Amino acid sequence: MPPGPGPLVVVLLLSLLLLVAGIHGRLQHEEEEEEEEVQEGGSSSSFTIPVWAPHVPESGEERREHFRALMAKDMRRMMRQVPELMSKTDMFELPMRSALNIAQVGMYVVVVRIGTPALPYSLALETANEVTWINCRLRRRKGKHPGRPHVPPAATTMSIEVDDGGGGGSGGKSKVTKVIKNWYRPAKSSSWRRFRCSQRACMDLPYNTCESPDQNTSCTYYQVMKDQTITSGIYGQEKATVAVSDGTMKKLPGLVIGCSTFEHGGAVNSHDGILSLGNSPSSFGIAAARRFGGRLSFCLLATTSGRNASSYLTFGANPAVQAPGTMETPLLYRDVAYGAHVTGILVGGQPLDIPPEVWDEGPLGNENPEAGIVLDTGTSITHLVSAVYDPVTAALDSHLAHLPKAEIKGFEYCYNWTFAGDGVDPAHNVTIPSFSIEMAGDARLAADAKSIVVPEVVPGVVCLGFNRISQGPSIIGNVLMQEHIWEIDHMSTVLRFRKDKCINHQQLNRHQKKASSSSSSSSSSPPPYPAA
């Protein structure tokens, strides 16, 4: 039988037991006291603090302002999460032209330098699109990258067939015109970074068609646009080179670019791709605005302006916006598009009888996707739902109904009449009435006569510049937006606009003078923009 523990060991064990018992007693006492403090929460393992939801006003107008303020707060947070490339006083501009007299399509084209080395591409301006894409060739080929040459737009590299008016007894004929068509080649750009299906960034991109997170598979996309234009290809990151307000050239990194290997429909043959300004993290507009104070603006020339006339797309504070006559209205985010709250439409100074629910977008989180109106520079003719289209066209037709009617495909109201510059023709008893869209904040978009009717759809024929759509929201197209400067201010969630011919812009003119002087003094320094 083994010997038992000695007296010293027994004393030590008893002391240790007493010590543990004392500590346990103190802990139990503290837990009992703590339990009393949290008893109201109903559990000794958790506690509850009551939280109240923010007060939401009952009236429609107050609710709209309430949710607009919430959106403004969220947008400011989003903008501050990305480090600025320059200070808030910096800005950069891109030259822009109407493509109507270049490629016979009603859109605006912006010249952007993409890749390293930076090469210029003519991209169609789209405020309601979230994917920037460029015609792309993936395979490396011998020879120089066929980037846009520094020559006037009259220089051509591709022939396409366009419809000169089209059908319906109008005598419209197809004709062949020539436009410049360029290809982006990622293999020849050192700054191109292809997205893979295994990357989280790929899964967050719109229209992606990845079927599995395979690290060896490119992040592919397939997009069908509102006009049924189709584009598909692969996503990647690229850089753009821009001229900032101090005259220096800077790289704009982190841009999502669609390398488009297939395009079909619409006017895809009349430009090199799409420049997206829509409200999406993937859009060029948001990526650039985040680094330049959350603001972007563009001035739309008359759609019929000359081939070499150019205006501008600006990121950052634009002094040209702040001038007498500038209108302000709360900016609404309608999916990826931008809109404003309409309160009414006037023709000849008289308000039209339009049901108010047509304009009621509803509160944030419970919006009516078919109500209200959005801006879309990629759409030419203004599209209105029937409840708006019928009273608008009836009011305008009452001033033109005595003219002989013409049938033109794509339009309901056309007249045999040669448009007079100001819309007044006493010889034919024609006066185009005033037309204005009233918006929240007492803002008013007053259209000129050439925006209300489309002149010379075919020689000697004008048509009302409105089309009917079966489903909303209604769309303000670039014909109604022309000869205005527009600013989208994300930081303040404000839409600003005012009348402007867009042909006398000091900032752009200064850049062009610097470009010409620098090119004459040093052939090695690149000009801010290719020649227009």
Q: 494 and 373, same structural domain?
A: yes
Note the pLDDT of residue 229: 85
- Is 202 within the bounds of a domain? yes
- Check whether residue 352 and residue 249 sit in a common domain: no
Average pLDDT of the segment spanning 359-381: 90
User: What pLDDT sits at residue 249?
Assistant: 86
Q: 63: exposed, middle or buried (C-beta count within 10 Å: 0-12, 13-18, 19+)?
A: middle
- Domain range enclosing 341: 323-512
Taking the chain, what is the end-to-end CA distance rounded to the nearest angstrom? 109
Same domain for 397 and 274, yes or no, is no
Distance between CA atoms of residues 374 and 473, nearest Å = 7
Cα dihedral sign for 505, 301, 389, 332?
Answer: negative
| Contacts by 454-457, CB closer than 8 A, 24 or more apart | 454/381, 454/411, 454/479, 455/304, 455/419, 456/418, 456/419, 457/165, 457/170, 457/408, 457/411, 457/414
Q: Cα 186 from chain centroid?
A: 25
Q: Which of 168-177, 180-189, 259-268, 329-338 is the least confident region?
A: 168-177
Question: Of 291, 306, 338, which residue constitutes the final position of a domain?
Answer: 291
* Residues above pLDDT 90, as percent of the chain: 48
Residue 219 covered by a domain: yes
172 to 101, 162, 163, 459: CA distances (angstroms) = 17, 11, 7, 10
Strands (E), 180-288: 193-194, 220-224, 230-243, 249-264, 273-276
Q: How confident is the model at residue 37 (pLDDT cuts 50, 70, 90)?
A: very low
Confidence of residue 150 (pLDDT cuts 50, 70, 90): very low
Find how far residue 41's CA is from the centre of its chain. 49
- The residue ranking higher by pLDDT, 299 or 147, is 299
Q: Is the dihedral of CA 478, 484, 315, 374 positive or negative?
A: negative
Count of domains in the chain? 2
CATH code for the domain in which residue 106 is found: 2.40.70.10
In whole angstroms, what is the distance from residue 280 CA to residue 338 CA? Answer: 11
Under 8 Å between Cβ of 496 and 487: yes
H helices of 48-127, where?
A: 60-80, 100-103
Predicted local distance difference test score (pLDDT) of residue 228: 81
In a domain, 384, yes or no: yes
- Dihedral class, residue 165 (left if φ above 0, else alpha if ψ from -120 to 50, else beta): left
Report the DSSP beta bridge partners of residue 439: 342, 443
Query: Is the model's pLDDT at 77 over the cut of 50?
Result: no
Q: Taking residues 276-289, what's their average pLDDT?
A: 94
* Cβ 97 vs Cβ 309: under 8 Å: yes
Token pair for residue 119?
Answer: 């090469």
Strands 342-347, 443-447: parallel, antiparallel or unpaired by DSSP?
unpaired
| pLDDT for 214 | 77
Which of 269, 266, 108 has its CA nearest to residue 177? 269
Top mean pLDDT of 35-49, 110-124, 235-249, 341-355 is at 341-355
Which tokens belong to 404?
């002989």
Query: How far, in Å, CA of 506 to CA of 504, rounded?
Result: 6
CB 297 within 8 A of CB 96: no
Q: Are residues 113 and 247 in the same domain?
A: yes
Same domain for 330 and 262 = no
Residue 22 lies in a domain: no
Whole-prediction pTM: 0.74
One domain for residues 329 and 275: no
On the question of pLDDT at 281 being above 90, the answer is yes
Q: Can you tell me the distance from the alpha carbon of 450 to that of 433, in angstroms, rounded to the nearest whole number? A: 11
- Domain-located, residue 9: no
* E runs forming strands in 292-419: 295-300, 311-316, 327-330, 332-334, 337-340, 342-347, 350-351, 373-375, 382-385, 414-416
CA dist., res. 194 & res. 235, Å (int): 6
* Average of per-residue pLDDT across 211-215: 81
Residue 171 region by backbone torsions, left for phi larger than 0, else alpha for psi between -120 and 50, else beta? left
Q: Is residue 80 part of a domain?
A: no
> Can you tell me the mean pLDDT for 135-145?
62
147 inside domain = no
Q: Is 163 a domain residue?
A: no
Give yes or no: residues 204 and 255 share one domain: yes
Band of the pLDDT at 153, cuts 50, 70, 90? very low
The stretch 136-147 carries a mean pLDDT of 55
Phi, psi for residue 519 in degrees, rounded to 5: -70, -30
- 110 shares its domain with 240: yes
Q: Determine which helix (DSSP H) or strand (DSSP E) holds 260, and give its type and residue range.
A: strand 249-264
Band of the pLDDT at 362, cuts 50, 70, 90?
confident
Farthest-apart Cα atoms in the chain, separation: 135
Do 279 and 338 lie in one domain? The reply is: no
Q: Are residues 474 and 332 in the same domain?
A: yes
Q: Residue 517: helix, strand or coil by DSSP?
A: helix
State mean pLDDT over 365-394: 93
CA-based nearest residue to 315, from 207, 235, 214, 243: 243
Which strand (E) or helix (H) includes residue 344? strand 342-347
133 and 256 assigned to the same domain: yes
Residues 264 and 130 in one domain: yes
| Predicted local confidence at residue 126, as pLDDT | 92
Query: Mean pLDDT score of the chain, rounded to an integer?
Result: 75
Quick: pLDDT tens for 232-274.
Answer: 999 999 999 988 877 788 899 999 999 999 988 766 777 899 9
